[in-house]
Amino acid sequence: MARQATTKRFVIDLSHVDENVYQKLDLRLAQQPSETDAYLLTRLLAYALLVRDDEESTLGFSKGGLTTPEEPAISRTSLDGRTLVWCEIGSPSVERLHKASKSSPLVVLVTHHEAERIGRELTEATIFRKEHLLVWAIDPTFVGDLGGRLGERGGEFSLTISDGTLYAEIGGTTLVSSISRISTTPA
């Protein structure tokens, strides 16, 4: 019998100073059996990075989660149903990013993997409208430390995003990570 997804609840007091967004997020994420904790937390952090005070669009996780490969992990959609931002997590294939760039005016990749390797691969790759591909790398140690402080079913923490840096305050401890922007075009 196949294992079922585990639902985790995260309550985040978000202060996204760079975007002037201050919200309390109460999110339930389904973690598929094949999904690592690091991937799930990177998905959660990507969502926080993409939150905007915008009444003209909605931000959401893929309805099918990881089991729906034709959908983005996270997307921003206009009120008339157009995809405005397609967000991938981890290290998706070049083909997937190429397809995404044909479906959305902006593609964002948030990764917790080897930033240098991904940068090299994407620089060499042929991707439609590659100049509209935004790649952010989060330190995998930060993701692991955050995961180690959250409970098995999720948890609550404060997240501040300011000047390209993440500050997570959880249980009296502050974790810090820069958000590295990876270039996808040759220098």
Beta-sheet pairing, 6-16 with 21-31: antiparallel
118-156 pLDDT, tens digit per residue, is 777 777 777 777 777 888 999 999 999 999 999 989 999
Measure the CA–CA gap between 155 and 158, rounded to whole angstroms: 10
Measure the CA–CA gap between 88 and 97, rounded to whole angstroms: 8
Nearest to 32 by CA among 59, 58, 1, 8: 8
31-90 pLDDT, tens digit per residue, is 988 889 999 999 999 999 999 988 889 999 987 666 677 889 999 999 999 999 999 999
The reported pTM is: 0.91
Nearest to 107 by CA among 142, 131, 141, 82: 131
Measure the CA–CA gap between 134 and 185, rounded to whole angstroms: 11
Measure the CA–CA gap between 129 and 127, rounded to whole angstroms: 6
Ranges of each domain in the chain: 6-182
Measure the CA–CA gap between 76 and 81, rounded to whole angstroms: 9
Count of residues making up the chain: 187
Superfamily of domain 6-182: Restriction endonuclease-like alpha-beta roll domain (3.10.640.10)
